[in-house]
Chain A
Amino acid sequence: MVRVAVPSMLAAQAPGRKGYDVEAQTVGDALHALPVADLLFNERGALNRHLNVYIDGTDVRERGGLDCPVAGAGEIRVVAMVSGG
């Protein structure tokens, strides 16, 4: 079981839940288990470009991407990254 935290706009689509406890082997599995998974991936299954995903504070890109195992992890955090200002 791993905890997944999502931004408030996704919580509004859930509705209202900013955190989920899901059974998963990998980070990708955990994200696909969310009720807002359709808002995280495009129709080819690619993670939307402006999303960052952290596992216990580390960018999953540094841990093999969505195939990163979640065993022993405390939290997966989904963060919307809109650059510019």
Chain B
Amino acid sequence: MLEGWGVYHATLDPRDGTVFAATNHRVYGSTVQRSADNGRTWRRSQKVGLPEDSGLTLDAVWHIEPGRAEEPQTLYLGAAPGVLFRSDDRGESWEVNRGILDHSTRERWFPGAGGMCCHSIQLDPRDSRRMYVAITAAGVFRSDDAGESWLPINNNVEAEFLGDPHAEVGQCPHKLLIHPARPDRLWQQNHYGVYLSDDHGESWLRLDGNGLPSGFGFPLMLDPKDPHSAFVIPEKSPEYHYSSGGQLAVYRTQDSGETWELMSDGLPKQAWAAVLREASAYDDESLYFGTQSGSLFALTDGQRWVEAVRHLPPILSVEVAQWSA
């Protein structure tokens, strides 16, 4: 039923097993779809749109984040142009977040190559009022009041394309993740570098000078058991969106970015591949990513990559979940 749609992100809600998909089509626009039967049938949400007083219209839907366990009706939706929605009826209808829509810095935001997408939504598991969003190219924002107001948190994050590379906003985060076991720790793959914050984003430390071939990339994976580990898939540069040196490779740090090591066992050489920001996932067991050339890889035994599927269309989204039939 979703054949022909661009599924920018799909995820399984761990609270009840519903699958949600953020789908876009050049002709038919943007929708959120949900399935209660593992994708056999789908149901569209009510029309997702922006209020007339904003002067904006919806460009695309990008990321769906299920709410916390204690708010079972709630989900969040990141979209373009730089907007966040919330649903309190299990994804049937969506209401725009006015704090982001009306943010005082919005006039200094601008779209990246994929639009002005709100692509990362992270909920602090220990604090029900704290959450984060990352928007290209506006930066990372934190709310400490359940989404009422949003503080730009881009200190030390460089935006080399701006006149002032240390501006308050205008940075280009590509993916933001909170560490599930240490929620004070945020990891960020940015347009310019990989960053780590240990103070809720108040300050950031750039990490990509210690073995990474490039600071540019999109996907980011973590180890839920080890907050010192992270995994990235660098691309050659902002101008050249494919693996550097003709080697598809994952790089791993196990010491909070002090050093990075190559993990290419099983990955193809002579490959100029690209991996999109939603096209990687991790769980307690392994890592997973898909390429724009339609191959899905999984890590086996913690060391060796196996190409699990090939010849798919460009892979836009990868998530991992366990369920029983």
Q: Which A residues fall within an 8 A CB radius of B?
A: 9-10, 12-13, 15, 38-40, 42-44, 48, 50-51, 80-82
Contacts and interface: CB of A to CB of B under 8 A. Distances in A.
Which of A10, A38, A48 has the most chain B CB atoms closer than 10 A to its own CB? A38
B26 A43 contact: no
Given A12-B1, A15-B1, A42-B57, A50 B49 contact: no
Interface stretch (B27-35, B111-119, B204-212, B300-308): B27-35
A38 B57 contact: no
A75 B5 CA distance: 27
Given A9-B4, A12-B1, A13-B1, A48 B47 contact: no
B44 interface: yes
A42 B50 CA distance: 10
Contacts of B101: none
B58 A48 contact: no
Given A9-B4, A12-B1, A43 B49 contact: yes
B57 A43 contact: yes
B107 interface: no
Given A13-B44, A15-B41, A43-B58, 18 more contacts: A9-B25, A9-B28, A12-B3, A13-B1, A15-B1, A38-B44, A38-B46, A38-B47, A42-B29, A42-B57, A43-B49, A43-B50, A43-B57, A44-B52, A44-B57, A50-B26, A51-B27, A80-B28
Nearest to A40: B28
17 contacts: A9-B4, A9-B5, A13-B1, A38-B31, A38-B46, A38-B47, A39-B29, A39-B31, A40-B28, A42-B49, A42-B57, A42-B58, A43-B48, A48-B27, A51-B27, A80-B28, A82-B26
Contacts of B52: 44
Which of B26, B28, B46, B48 has the most chain A CB atoms closer than 10 A to its own CB? B28
Interface string B4-47: 11000000000000000000011111010000000001001011
Interface in B239-298: none
Interface residues of B, number: 20
Nearest to A81: B27
A10 to B, nearest CB: 7
The 10 closest A-B CB pairs, nearest first, are A43-B49, A39-B28, A38-B47, A50-B27, A80-B27, A9-B4, A12-B1, A42-B57, A48-B29, A43-B57
Interface in B43-93: 44, 46-50, 52, 57-58
A50 B5 CA distance: 15
A10 B28 contact: yes
